[in-house]
């Protein structure tokens, strides 16, 4: 039940260094961060953090995947999915404020926990790290704004079409590719019900989208693109 807790083995250092946030910082500030850090292995479906609780650690997902969800009045929605290697809940850590989302492992996951106070201390000391944090936060902010535009300006079918095109790119650009997670959660991420997602998929059949389980094939790229009207100011999640 209880996950194993151990101090960070040095073998993990290179992986963590790959994360933008830590890539450029001075070696000794990096090690200062690592000294206080832990690594834990979690089974699937474990609630790592709970909405509303105070934030003590910056989390770095090393392997596995984590779902960020929010709820209100008995309803729940998936806000984002974290994939390795990246950090999550940086903003709460920085502001020393309660989490706005809960985090739950989807698969068996390996996660590094860096005490928030260490992050803040090294931040004050290392310009390069400070700059990296600013860049990261600005990026996160812009990501949510894009997602908000997606929600407010598009119908669910349009959101799905654009999601498929984004996912296709990420998967390498071939006509056929796999959905990265189950439809149930995809529906929640896109802000709709599973039933509605099923129907949206069927509706996109008219534009050459074929679905077989988690396997998607885009039979007429142009037609789907004409329908989706992708916009870098909404769909490009790299800037």
Q: Which does 182 bind (CB under 5 to 8 A by kind): DNA, its own copies, none?
A: DNA
Does 79 bind its own copies (CB under 8 A)? Our answer is yes
Q: In angstroms, what CA-CA distances link 218 with 177, 214, 236? A: 9, 13, 19
- Which of 31, 54, 117, 153 binds its own copies (CB under 8 A)? It is 153
Q: How far is CA 68 from CA 176, 202, 217, in A?
A: 28, 28, 28
141 binds its own copies (CB under 8 A): yes
> Is the CB of 18 or the CB of 107 nearer to DNA?
107
Contacts 24+ apart (CB under 8 A), 153-158: 153/234, 156/190, 156/191, 156/192, 156/196, 156/197, 156/200, 157/200, 157/203, 157/204, 158/227, 158/228, 158/229
Question: Is the preceding omega at residue 85 within 30 degrees of 0, hence cis?
Answer: yes
Binding mask 156-175 for DNA (x = CB under 7 A): xx------------------
Map residue 55 onto helix, strand or coil: coil
**Of the ranges 38-46, 64-72, 176-184, 218-226, which one interacts with its own copies (CB under 8 A)?**
64-72
Contact between 211 and DNA per CB under 7 A: yes
Find which of DNA, its own copies, none residue 82 binds, CB within 5 to 8 Å per kind: none
Question: Rule CB under 7 A: is residue 234 a binding residue for DNA?
Answer: no
- State the residues that interact with DNA by CB under 7 A: 155-157, 182-184, 191-202, 211, 213-214
């Amino acid at each position: 039940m209880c996950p194993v807790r151990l101090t960070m083995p040095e073998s993990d250092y290179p992986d963590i260094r790959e994360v933008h946030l830590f890539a450029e910082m001075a070696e000794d500030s990096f090690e200062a961060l690592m000294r206080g850090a832990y690594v834990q292995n979690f089974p699937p479906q474990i609630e790592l953090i709970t909405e509303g609780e105070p934030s003590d650690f910056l989390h770095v997902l090393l392997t596995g995947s984590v779902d960020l969800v929010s709820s209100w009045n008995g309803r729940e929605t998936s806000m984002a999915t974290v994939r390795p290697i990246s950090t999550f809940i940086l903003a709460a850590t920085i502001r020393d404020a309660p989490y706005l989302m809960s985090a739950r492992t989807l698969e068996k996951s390996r996660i590094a926990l860096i005490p928030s106070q260490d992050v803040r201390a090294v931040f004050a000391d290392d310009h390069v790290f400070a700059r990296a944090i600013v860049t990261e936060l600005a990026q996160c902010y812009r990501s949510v704004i894009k997602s908000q535009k997606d929600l407010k300006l598009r119908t669910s079918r349009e959101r799905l079409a654009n999601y498929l095109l984004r996912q296709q790119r990420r998967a390498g650009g071939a006509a056929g590719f796999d959905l990265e997670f189950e439809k149930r959660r995809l529906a929640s991420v896109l802000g709709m019900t599973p039933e509605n997602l099923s129907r949206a998929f069927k509706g996109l059949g008219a534009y050459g989208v074929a679905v077989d389980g988690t396997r998607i094939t885009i039979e007429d790229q142009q037609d789907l693109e004409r329908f989706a009207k992708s916009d870098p100011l909404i769909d490009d999640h790299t800037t």
